[in-house]
């Protein structure tokens, strides 16, 4: 799990990158939760998401936003953190010019960053977001959402109320040309305590199904 340093607009960005041994492997970027509430790339959910993609053969990158860990800079109201994610994605794509697909993922605040980023990167194939903070940030920018994806939510989440995520998903499902796979995990809180194995297998199952679907379509 090599440490890498990525140049960003606010200075260096600390990251961890696992390069796949498979030729033309797909790539995945993982965005962590809110830095002002203790979020880092070592957050347990973020790490579980990262491991899910590594185990499925992706070249996978997680990183710290500006001002977190060894990343330079300071909190920048979300726009700066989105710029950091964009710089991290530039690094990932530069090191994988023949990647067989791009997935953008994130947890909590990182879900908002991930969804903002995929709107700016039309080459994105899929997304996976966990506990998108529909009570804290507007997701109205997803009009239209450019690709299909997986949304995971705990049914006992006290930080992001499930009914608000339900409403967000209902709006996304009205859009044509994409498929939103929405799964409410029974007994899971916002941080998916004691649910990491289930979280990983759910994401891996979705990845497998997505690639099988692509093969059938081809």
For the stretch 3-43, pLDDT in tens is: 999 999 999 999 999 999 999 999 999 999 999 999 999 99
118, 127 in Cβ contact below 8 A?
A: yes
Quickly list H helices, the chain.
44-55, 79-94, 109-120, 162-172, 196-217
**Banded model confidence at residue 212, pLDDT cuts 50, 70, 90:** confident
Domain 3-217 homologous superfamily, CATH = Alpha/Beta hydrolase fold, catalytic domain (3.40.50.1820)
Which helix or strand (DSSP H or E) is residue 74 part of? Answer: none
The continuous run of DSSP H or E covering 135 comes out as none
Compute, in degrees rounded to 10, the torsion defined by CA atoms 136, 142, 211, 95.
-80
10 Å Cβ neighbour count for 215? 7
Q: Under 8 Å CB-to-CB from 58, ≥6 apart: which residues?
A: 20, 25, 26, 27, 28, 103
Q: How many helices (H) and strands (E) does the chain have?
A: 5, 8
Two tokens, residue 17: 């990158």
Q: pLDDT band at 213, cuts 50/70/90?
A: confident
Q: Residue 130: its pLDDT value, please?
A: 98
Is pLDDT of 215 > 90?
Answer: no
């Amino acid at each position: 799990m090599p440490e890498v340093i990525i140049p960003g607009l606010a200075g260096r960005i600390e990251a961890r990158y696992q390069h796949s041994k498979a030729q033309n492997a797909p790539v995945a970027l993982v965005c962590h939760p809110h830095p002002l509430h203790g979020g880092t790339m070592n957050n347990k959910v973020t790490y579980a998401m990262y491991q899910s993609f590594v185990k499925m053969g992706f070249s996978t990158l997680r990183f710290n936003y500006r001002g977190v860990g060894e990343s330079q800079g300071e909190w920048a109201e979300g726009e700066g953190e989105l710029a950091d994610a964009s710089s991290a994605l530039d690094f990932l794509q530069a090191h994988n010019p023949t990647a067989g697909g791009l997935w953008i993922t994130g947890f909590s605040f990182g879900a908002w960053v991930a969804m903002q980023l995929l709107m700016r990167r039309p080459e994105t194939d899929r997304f996976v977001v966990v506990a998108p903070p529909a009570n804290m940030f507007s997701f109205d920018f997803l009009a239209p959402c450019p690709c299909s994806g997986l949304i995971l939510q705990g049914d006992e989440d006290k930080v992001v109320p499930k009914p608000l995520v339900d409403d967000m998903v209902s709006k996304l499902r009205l859009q044509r040309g994409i498929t939103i796979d929405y799964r409410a995990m029974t007994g899971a809180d916002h941080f998916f305590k004691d649910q990491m194995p289930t979280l990983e297998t759910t994401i891996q199952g979705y990845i497998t199904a997505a690639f099988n679907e692509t093969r059938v379509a081809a």
